[in-house]
Amino acid sequence: MIYRKQGGVARWENGTLIRVTESGAAREDGDLFECWPEPSNHAVDEPTSRRVVEIASSLQHLPVERLIVVHGAARHEYDGRTWSEETERIHLSLAHGQLRALVDSSTRRLDDWTTIAAALQRADPHDREPPRHLVLAPGVAAAVLPFLPNATQTAGGVDGYGNDIVDGGTQNFYRPSYRVRPVRMPHNLRLDHHVTAIDPDLPRAIALLAPPDSVALRVLVIDGESVYPTTAHVTKIEAVGREREWYPYGAGSFGAELML
Amino acid sequence: MTRFAHAVREELWSRGRRVESRLAQGQAVEDAHGITATDARDDELVMLARHELERLHAVMPQDALVRLVAEASTEAITATMTVRLNGISIVTDPTHAARDIELLRRAAGGSAANRSAGFQPAGPPASSRPPLPLLWRNGTAALLLHEAHAHPLEHHLPPLPLPPWLRVEVPLQLRRATFRDVPLLRMQHVRVTQHDAPFALPPEHIEIHLIDGGAYDPLTDVVTLRIAASSVGPFTITERRGDFRFLGAEGEPQRYPGVICSREGQELVVGSYAPTLLTA
């Protein structure tokens, strides 16, 4: 069977606007994966360049080292099923001194970044020992979920073969592009815990300072008046907050406050 | 207004069996409003890419993991083969494949004959660099200068202070990996030469033969190099670029078997040449 995808992307990348439209097909035949461009007559709503430019402009006051804003729309077809999706993604790195805060998000949490940028400006440049207890902000927690064995899939949407993503399922496949062989991967991860009360007075990790190294996270911590980098290990989780927000890690990850 | 177009044939082979095959094609037109990219086909470029792929087929080994990339663009025609054996890899082309794959086999083999020739087999990397002078053989010094000298230039940072006997040629130009990418100021190649360099080899030193990868962080000015094969086995170097001391060099530049450089997710081949170099 042949998978087909057509779509377009408007992307702001470090000051340059790029608009891409393409369509292609992919086939798996035993161990062999093949893909190729293929013209399509189906209409797909073109992503709006104006939206990505507006978002990028609204962040120009921050100490931006790298900024990528993406708005995409796609139509998929496989085994008689068709489905569409629209995506918005932001990758941002903020730099101050020798510290770099990394943010991968949708476009719904723009306010967080002003907080991160302000904290970065007054951060102690030297790493400290991690505090005994620490709360991970949702955007930080979302990044570690793919490394936690007890994170589970959340129902909603369809996977790379057009199959329903079911709650707790393990049989869904991630296909970020028609040029990539689908891989089995849980979608929209979340972490459940019987304790949901988060102590608001604990030190709080508000941003990643490096990509996760499994469950080891180098993070920027606000602890009262202090702001400093540390490396925390996500081993014993004592509570998970109720409010969840989706982040673009792996095949999706619902970040919630995690209390360690 | 500028136009870029290309066609790429890419294949992945596992021990003589094709497991992935891709055709990509497209063009990008840049004007004052940005870049407009589509997957428009240029039949001539597709045909040229197919021809390059056939050249790669003719020389690829049957007992390794092999990635072939044949590209024909409005800027260049390239044929690149990445060969991975026993956990280490080289990047080569049809002209140099035989010699480069032999080097890889010696480094990856770990036989008694190889060890007597000065190689230690690949294995888990040691955590840090042993405290001995480093002798960069097989053109590997080009990768040291790639990270410590050339990448900073791409970021408009000052060049690395070099001794008068050492020169590094790094032409920079706007390059892109695919028609979907924003062109970036990237190095084309790194060619290191020495002229009347001193060369006093200390009896105790480490010989570096193959490098698995590297990185430069413009924020911290730190260079990381993962040594895949050396006289003491694999290890990792993590140092500020200014901390490297150049003690000497000898010979003509040797071609290092390929470097695929990744920046902003765009992978590009960078030609690499260097003489034998001694550093502390």
Which of A20, A21, A94, A179 should be substituted to probe chain B, the one whose Cβ sees the most B Cβ atoms within 10 Å?
A20
Q: What are B88's two structure tokens?
A: 């280490």
B121 and B234 share a domain? yes
Which residues, listed in sequence order, are joined to residue B32 by a DSSP beta bridge? none
Residue B90 lies in a domain: no
Same domain membership, residue B80 and residue B132: no
- B268's CB contacts (< 8 A; 6+ apart) are B175, B177, B186, B260, B261, B262
pLDDT at site A120: 96
Query: Which region, left, alpha or beta, applies to residue A252 given φ > 0 means left and ψ of -120 to 50 means alpha?
Result: left
Q: What is the pLDDT of residues B188-227, one digit of tens each?
A: 999 999 999 999 999 999 999 999 889 999 999 999 999 9
Residues B126 and B262 in one domain: yes
The DSSP annotation for B213-245 comes to: EEEEETTTTEEEEEEEEETT--EEEEEEGGG--
Report pLDDT for B108: 77
In this predicted model, what pLDDT tens digit does every residue of B185-198 receive, in sequence order?
999 999 999 999 99
pLDDT at B114: 43
Whether residues B156 and B252 fall in one domain: yes
**Looking at the domain assignment, is residue B101 inside a domain?**
no
Tell whether B161 and B255 lie within a shared domain.
yes
Contact B223, B215 (CB under 8 A): yes
CA angle B82, B88, B92 (to 5 degrees): 25
Residue type, B31: D
Q: Which of B85, B106, B131 is the last residue of a domain?
A: B85
Provide, as residue numbers in chain B, all residues whose Cβ is less than 8 Å from the Cβ of A95.
219
Last residue of a domain, one of B40, B63, B85: B85
pTM of this prediction? 0.89
Considering the domain architecture, whether residues B14 and B133 belong to the same structural domain is answered as no
Per CB-CB distance under 8 Å, the chain B contacts of A32 are 18-21
Task: Answer with the residue of higher pLDDT: B236 or B120.
Answer: B236
Same domain? B160 vs B271: yes
The whole-number pLDDT of residue B1 equals 83
A13 vs B26, B179, B182: nearest CB: B182
Using the predicted structure, report yes or no on whether residue B51 has a pLDDT greater than 90.
yes
Query: Which amino acid type is present at position A156?
Result: G
Beta bridge partners of B88: B85
Confidence of residue B275 (pLDDT cuts 50, 70, 90): very high
Task: Establish if B99 belongs to a structural domain.
Answer: no
Those residues with Cβ within 8 angstroms of residue A149's Cβ, 6 or more apart along the chain or in another chain: none
Tokens matching residue B269: 């081949």
Backbone dihedral region for residue A61 (phi beyond 0: left; psi -120 to 50: alpha; all else: beta): alpha
Does residue B67 sit in the same domain as residue B144?
no
Structure tokens at B133: 């002078």
Beta bridge partners of residue B254, listed in sequence order: B274
Q: Report the alpha-carbon distance of residue A203 to residue A39 in Å, rounded.
A: 54
Of the candidates A156, A161, A22, which has an alpha carbon nearest to the alpha carbon of residue A78? A161
Q: Is the pLDDT of residue B116 over 70?
A: no
Contact B39 A21 (CB under 8 A): yes
Question: What does the block give as tokens for B201?
Answer: 């080899």
How remote is the C-alpha of A35 from its chain's centroid?
A: 26
Residue A27, H or E segment: strand A16-29
Mean pLDDT per 10-residue interval, chain A, length 260 residues: 95 95 96 95 81 91 93 95 93 95 83 89 96 96 95 96 95 96 96 96 96 96 96 95 94 96
C-beta of residue A255 within 8 angstroms of C-beta of residue A244: yes
Question: What domain count does chain B have?
Answer: 2
pLDDT band for position B109 (cuts 50, 70, 90): confident
Q: Are residues B160 and B22 in the same domain?
A: no
- Residues whose CB is less than 8 angstroms from the CB of residue B201 and which lie 6 or more positions away in sequence, other chains included: B135, B248, B278
The three-class DSSP label of residue A176 is coil
| Residue B19 is assigned to a structural domain of this protein | yes
What gap in Å lies between CA A153 and CA A167, rounded to an integer? 6
Same domain for B210 and B253: yes
Percent of chain B at pLDDT exceeding 70:
93
Asked if the structure places residue B201 within a domain, the reply is yes
Inside any domain, residue B96: no
- DSSP letter, residue A48: P
Q: Are residues B209 and B267 located together in one domain of the fold?
A: yes
Q: How many helices (H) and strands (E) does chain B have?
A: 5, 18
Q: Are residues B129 and B45 in the same domain?
A: no
A77 in reach of chain B (CB within 8 A): no
Residue of A nearest to B8 (CA): A36
pLDDT of residue A41: 82
pLDDT at B16: 95
Establish if A100 touches chain B: CB-CB under 8 angstroms. yes
Q: Name which of A113, A99, A256 is nearest B219 in CA terms.
A: A99
Q: For residue B130, is it within any domain? A: yes
Domain of residue B12, residue span: 1-85
Structural domain contains residue B91: no
Q: What stretches of chain B show up as alpha helix (H) in DSSP?
A: 43-59, 97-109, 112-116, 141-145, 151-154
- Predicted pLDDT of residue B118: 45
